[in-house]
Amino acid sequence: MDTQEQIEKLEVELLRLKSIQGRCNHKWGNTYKEYINKQVPIQENRPMGSDYFNPVTVGWEDQKISVWSRGCTICGLKQTTTKTEPVIEHHRPVF
């Protein structure tokens, strides 16, 4: 079996598994909060000409971002989001 046949066989298997996952009646497990580090640019205003300021990237810094995740206990599908909606005293994740 050559490499191209293996690729085609794996693509067919992937489509079959995605179809099974799409038809699943998801039963979601616990929702949990994780933190990821994302690099954001540090920008500084520098003059150009007589009065025009142009923001210039002078470096990068790590920023901690909260990510909410949940997983299906049946098929293993994992969903993540950074969006939340306000609830009376705190925020709830929106999937």
Structure-token match 């067919």, residue found: 12
Structure-token match 């810094």, residue found: 61
Q: What is the band of 86 on the pLDDT scale with cuts at 50, 70, 90?
A: confident
pLDDT digits 0-9 by tens, 70-79: 999 998 889 9
With respect to residue 5, please indicate whether it lies within any of the assigned structural domains.
no
With respect to residue 72, please indicate whether it lies within any of the assigned structural domains.
yes
Q: In this predicted structure, what is the pLDDT of residue 94?
A: 82
For residue 20, give the H/E element and its range.
Answer: helix 3-22
Contacts of residue 72, defined as CB under 8 A and 6 or more positions apart, other chains included, come to 24, 26, 27, 28, 29, 78
pLDDT digits 0-9 by tens, 1-54: 799 999 999 999 999 998 988 888 989 999 999 999 999 898 887 776 666 677
With respect to residue 88, please indicate whether it lies within any of the assigned structural domains.
yes
With respect to residue 22, please indicate whether it lies within any of the assigned structural domains.
no
